[in-house]
Amino acid sequence: MRLERRRTRAAMVAAAALPLVAGALALGSQSASADQPARTLLSGTKPSWAVAKADKGATSNTGKVTVRVYLAGKDAAGLAKYAQAVSDPNSALYGHYLTPAQTQASYGATKAQIAEVTNWLKSSGLQVTGTNQHYITVSGDVAAAEKAFGTQLHNFSRAGHVYHAPASTASVPASLQGAVLTVSGLDNAPKLNHHDDTLPGPGAAFVNAGPFSSYYGSNVNKSLPSAYGVQAPYAIQGYTGKQLRAAYGAGSYTGKGVTVAITDAYASPTIAADASQYASRHGDKAYKPNQLRQVLPKNYNSTDACDASGWYGEETLDVEAVHAVAPDAGIVYVGAASCFDNDLLDALNKVVDNHLADIVSNSWGDVEANETPDVAAAYDQVFEQGAVEGIGFYFSSGDAGDNVASTGTKQPDTPGNSPWATSVGGTSLAVGKNNNYEFETGWGTEKGVLSADGKSWTTPAYTSGAGGGTSSLYAQPFYQRGVVPNSLALANGGTTKQRVEPDIAAVADPNTGFLVGQTQTFSDGSVKYGEYRIGGTSLASPVIAGVQALTEEARHGQPIGFANPLIYSRYGSSAYHDVTDHPFGPQVLSEVRVDFANSENASDGTITSLRLLGRDASLSATRGYDDVTGVGTPTSHYVQTYGSFHKH
């Protein structure tokens, strides 16, 4: 069972170490000559793997390409400046948000700019296949693309395959006067065939085996080997909304009058029935008419490549977690046509262009090395536009710790690495008998399996943990100054302080996770509703989104908007649990977990394991800000503290 649903990249590309400032690509210029008009460079459009030693020669001029030309708008610098001012509690403009129409009028691409870019693309021999306020899609042969973007496409060997990519940085005519933000799609490493698909049925079943604890420590094993001098409790069956609301200080707030958007790929065909049944079984409020609605694309693509049915569980978790924490909040699910960047960006743009919600939870991501500056710029732009409208984006920080075990390189996840997004880290949460908060550690799991003779545990080894770390793409944003230790901000070497993830955290450990209900396909062919415990920072993100919905209600409906400046403004206060990996000093905390060997039933036996808490790769939850939990997790004072903030 995957802990966090991560988007798959069409190109697994190492990102250039290019700092992105104010959400725009660093633009350069080329001097003009009598026969060559001046052009503006689009930095980051040449992949880092397109190097001379891998160059296999020019791509055939008759090859075909399809690219997106993203529009910068008429005042990209002004957009970034206003986004910061409207989000900063210390600014006189704090909370003075714009409508989507006002945002477009002040900062969006003009009709004249769109027409000028369109004419230039057509004059280069490219065919325009789609246009909106954010980008222009064009297709054509390689020769036309080379003419348009002032570069040659060459074939390069990479990981045993050959892909084409720009041999030099792409550029556009300087006469366009900055109208083009960036271009994506000039490389094809690799390129998937896109076609209209129908969604598959529910995915294979996953069922938790017992014994369980109903709350942390309620069922301590008596017969298994001791662990570090104590008998470990069994893992909980799965926390419910009542327990999470109590642990994170919901009080009497329910998110009334607030809407939370959720973006994922595809759409579960059983989400309405599953969410309703889950709420009924666990004492959550019943859904009101239209409280849960979906905004979906006309067609889907890449369902096999993206494991479409695997995303159903993601949507289920996100919807049920938000409703459990904020039972009166509206939920709008915005499904992407696939798990690739272009389609996910389209889903995010739908939220912003139509202001579907003030709070957006996104339980997907990828490692930063697979982010390229051109795509990063497109994400930053939509985040900035959201900020000026009072919309905040929350992203899971990842489930592979420092990512060394999975990629060989220490790095954070994206898009949560963006200075304009709120990265949500993860914890292991202990909720007590009376739903009281007992403790948290940073989420990082080491697993040891019960020996064949049942007398000992194998040496624990790292399995998973909350993502975090220091970005190589982004410089340190203003709100992290004076909070993030230099040891983290300068962890990549050099003298420039960098963006560090995460910003805030909530429960994520699947061993102290959330119980969800979902229609699944069982091995006997039956398709039916079932429940199971799940975690990952895919849980932490919707939990924080739910808490933010409670906070917006406490603010009498005033949107929080881009939350990071506000989150860091109360760093070190009673609004946060300062989470550490060792809340009880040297005592090692652990749980016993029993799993079905076949993930569904006992026919193939069970596997008993010991799960150690607070062991997250090279990342550590420490006193103060850390790279596992950020500033910490919400306390009972969080909602009231931020509920008192109002615009000037």
Is 419:562 a contact under the CB 8 Å cutoff? no
Query: Please, what is the average pLDDT of the chain?
Result: 91
Please name the amino acid found at residue 77: A
Partnered with residue 619 across adjacent β-strands are none
Q: Is the pLDDT of residue 29 over 60?
A: no
CA atoms within 13 A on the CB side of 8: 19
Q: Which of these, 397, 437, 498, lies nearest to 250 by C-alpha position?
A: 437
Residue 44 in 3-state DSSP?
Answer: coil
Q: Give the pLDDT score at 587.
A: 92
User: Mean pLDDT over residues 41-63, rounded?
Assistant: 91
User: Mean pLDDT over residues 14-43, rounded?
Assistant: 55
Q: Is the pLDDT of residue 25 over 50?
A: no
Residue 68 in 3-state DSSP?
Answer: strand
Q: Give the pLDDT score at 494.
A: 87
Q: Considering the domain 241-643, what is its CATH architecture?
A: 3-Layer(aba) Sandwich (3.40)
Q: Give the pLDDT score at 646.
A: 64
CB atoms within 10 A of CB 305: 16
Cis peptide before 200 (omega within 30 of 0): no
Dist CA 239 CA 626 (whole Å): 25
Residue 143 in 3-state DSSP?
Answer: helix
Rounded to 5 degrees, what are φ and ψ at 594? -115, 130
Residue 369 pLDDT grade (very low, low, confident, very high; cuts 50, 70, 90):
confident
Q: Give the pLDDT score at 583.
A: 97
The string of pLDDT tens digits covering residues 93-115 is 999 999 999 999 999 999 999 99
User: Mean pLDDT over residues 581-591, rounded?
Assistant: 95
Q: Give the pLDDT score at 372.
A: 80
The string of pLDDT tens digits covering residues 448-470 is 999 999 999 999 999 999 999 99
Is 329:259 a contact under the CB 8 Å cutoff? yes
Q: Is the pLDDT of residue 5 over 50?
A: no
Partnered with residue 518 across adjacent β-strands are 530
Residue 191 pLDDT grade (very low, low, confident, very high; cuts 50, 70, 90):
very low
Ranges of beta strands (E only) in 397-524 are 413-414, 422-431, 437-442, 444-449, 461-465, 469-475, 498-501, 504-507, 514-521
Residue 35 pLDDT grade (very low, low, confident, very high; cuts 50, 70, 90):
low
150: Cβ–Cβ under 8 A, 6 or more apart, which residues? Answer: 30, 39, 170, 171, 172
Q: Give the pLDDT score at 324.
A: 98
Dist CA 314 CA 616 (whole Å): 23
Please write down the HEC assignment for all residues of 530-581.
EEEEECCHHHHHHHHHHHHHHHHHHCCCCCCCCCHHHHHHCCCCCCEECCCC
Q: Is the pLDDT of residue 567 over 70?
A: yes
Dist CA 91 CA 97 (whole Å): 13
| Beta-sheet pairing, 27-30 with 153-158 | unpaired
Q: Which of these, 238, 230, 229, 235, lies nearest to 217 by C-alpha position?
A: 235
Residue 536 pLDDT grade (very low, low, confident, very high; cuts 50, 70, 90):
very high
Given the structure tokens 């795509």, which residue do they identify?
Answer: 375
Dist CA 241 CA 282 (whole Å): 8
Q: For CA atoms 432, 433, 435, 436, give the dihedral sign.
A: negative
Residue 86 in 3-state DSSP?
Answer: helix
The string of pLDDT tens digits covering residues 499-535 is 999 999 999 999 999 999 999 999 999 999 999 999 9
CA atoms within 13 A on the CB side of 535: 27
Residue 191 in 3-state DSSP?
Answer: coil
Q: Is the pLDDT of residue 169 over 50?
A: yes
Q: Give the pLDDT score at 17.
A: 32
Dist CA 371 CA 632 (whole Å): 27
223: Cβ–Cβ under 8 A, 6 or more apart, which residues? Answer: none
Q: Give the pLDDT score at 373.
A: 84
CB atoms within 10 A of CB 281: 13
pTM, whole model, 2 decimals? 0.92
Q: Which of these, 535, 632, 639, 636, lies nearest to 246 by C-alpha position?
A: 636
Q: Give the pLDDT score at 20.
A: 32
User: Mean pLDDT over residues 269-285, rounded?
Assistant: 96
Residue 245 burial (10 A CB sphere; 0-12, 13-18, 19+): buried
Is 325:546 a contact under the CB 8 Å cutoff? yes
Q: Give the pLDDT score at 172.
A: 96
Q: For CA atoms 139, 140, 141, 144, give the dihedral sign.
A: negative
Q: How large a percentage of the chain has pLDDT more than 70? A: 92
Dist CA 446 CA 609 (whole Å): 10
Q: Give the pLDDT score at 648.
A: 55
Cα Dmax for the chain: 86
Dist CA 145 CA 72 (whole Å): 20
Residue 232 burial (10 A CB sphere; 0-12, 13-18, 19+): buried
Partnered with residue 220 across adjacent β-strands are 233
Q: Which of 20-34, 159-173, 256-270, 559-573 has the lowest mean pLDDT?
A: 20-34
Residue 303 pLDDT grade (very low, low, confident, very high; cuts 50, 70, 90):
very high
Task: Give whole-number Cα distances, 352 to 95, 102, 176, 360, 510, in Å.
Answer: 17, 12, 26, 10, 32
Dist CA 536 CA 5 (whole Å): 9
Lookup: tokens for 491? 């962890």
Is 500:627 a contact under the CB 8 Å cutoff? yes
User: Mean pLDDT over residues 399-405, rounded?
Assistant: 96
